[in-house]
Amino acid sequence: SFVAQITLRRGVRRNFFLHRPPAIMPFFDWFGVAGTGIQSMFAWMTFNRDAFADNVAMRQNQKYQQKNYAISWIAIARDDIRDMMGISVNRINNYMLVATLILGISASALVSVSFDSTCPAPVVWCFYVSNSISIVFLMLSIMFGVKGQNCAFTNTMRLLTYQMRPENPADYEHDYMRQAQWIERNGARELFRIPGILPNYRTNTLDDFDAESPKGSKLGRKLAPVGLGNHEDATPLESLTRNCSHTWYLTKFARFMRLWHPYDIYAKHSMGMGIIALTQATSYFTLGTLLAQDRYLDSYVACAVSLLFSFMVALLMFENYRFRREHLLAPGKLCIFVSSVLLLSMAPTFVAIGAIWDRLEAHQAFAPAGVFCHFIFWFIAFLLSGRDISKEKMDLSRSSGDGSTFWNHWRQTYGSGKPRYQ
């Protein structure tokens, strides 16, 4: 309180309020009570406003975290697409590299190899035919590799551009100053809300807006559940449980890789057939070179070399076409495999016997038999390849059982524009 002191002429100081009227004391008492009440009201309002601001900040962080989660998921999915495409393209590149190197060997052998005039004619014919077949298959392998790479890049760009793309950014035009005044515009009921009573900030989304009450809570009234469409609101603590353990998007991407998988398969098989044909040509070249020397036991060495190359052909067939133990239980696959190995092995063997045996009947019987084995093998291979292509066993653009294409199935599942995050 203000204390005024009056200095008298005699030098004696008197306290002015010692002689104040008695009615002033209650006035200051009531003034202190009113000031404390006003201060309490402002503190009450500040508490509710700070609680509202904290809730707004938490919700804003949650929404941005949700957006960042969606963006991160899309980035991971796009990286997976590029990684799987890169793996396939690198494998096709390996096929093309090996096929190109072997093609150089076959081409150089075709133009540089020469036989002695005493070499049997069937050996020379089989060498040039086998070497030419090797060149054809190796060129097919390179062609399938190029088309597979083109298909992989084209479909990957299409998927990344039109399907698995980041969503368009939202219009960030929210007025945060207006949001800060929301609690004042809700009225005195929100400003002077009693702590412990559920507030009404109206943060419901469009999906569950109708299910919630638009009015604030009142004391004694049963509150409606908030956020009926959101399972996270049912628990007081955050729960990031998985909806399921199956990675559906990886399944879709595996089916997406099958768009260029036929080129991968046929590039590998064509390279294998080219190597087999080149191995047979090498067998004929070795046979012709040994027979032209006319040394002691050269004929037996030539037979041994032919058998060795036949064994190599069988190993190549075994490795190239993945003959597994379970194929023993499938009579059809076992019969095809055994027949292919026998035809590829019998052809050099028959030609070698016909060339080594000095009798005319042997030349007339075994040499045509070897050429006929070559013809039967390539004819059967042509029929089997035509059957696989006609039935579209590997053309996986028809990826579902109902005959719909991959892109139609993708559009039916995810839509044509906005990506889905499930």
Does residue 213 fall inside a structural domain? no
Does residue 193 fall inside a structural domain? no
pLDDT for the residue numbered 369: 83
For residue 115, give its domain range: 85-165+253-414
pLDDT for the residue numbered 103: 92
CA distance 367 to 351: 5
CA distance 92 to 88: 6
* Mean pLDDT for the chain overall: 71
Name the pLDDT band for 301 (thresholds 50, 70, 90). confident
pLDDT tens across 137-170, in order? 999 999 999 999 988 888 888 888 877 777 777 7
Does residue 17 fall inside a structural domain? no
pTM of the model: 0.63
Does residue 134 fall inside a structural domain? yes
> Range with the lowest mean pLDDT among 17-31, 56-70, 87-101, 178-192?
17-31
pLDDT for the residue numbered 187: 66
Does residue 45 fall inside a structural domain? no
Top-confidence range, 227-231, 277-281, 297-301 = 277-281
pLDDT tens across 2-23, in order? 444 444 444 445 554 555 555 6
Name the pLDDT band for 223 (thresholds 50, 70, 90). very low
pLDDT for the residue numbered 417: 43
CA distance 88 to 75: 20
pLDDT tens across 323-381, in order? 555 555 566 667 777 777 777 777 887 887 777 777 777 777 887 888 888 888 888 87
Specify the number of domains making up the chain. Answer: 1
Name the pLDDT band for 400 (thresholds 50, 70, 90). very low
Does residue 323 fall inside a structural domain? yes
Does residue 200 fall inside a structural domain? no
More confident residue, 219 or 172: 172
More confident residue, 243 or 230: 243
Does residue 298 fall inside a structural domain? yes
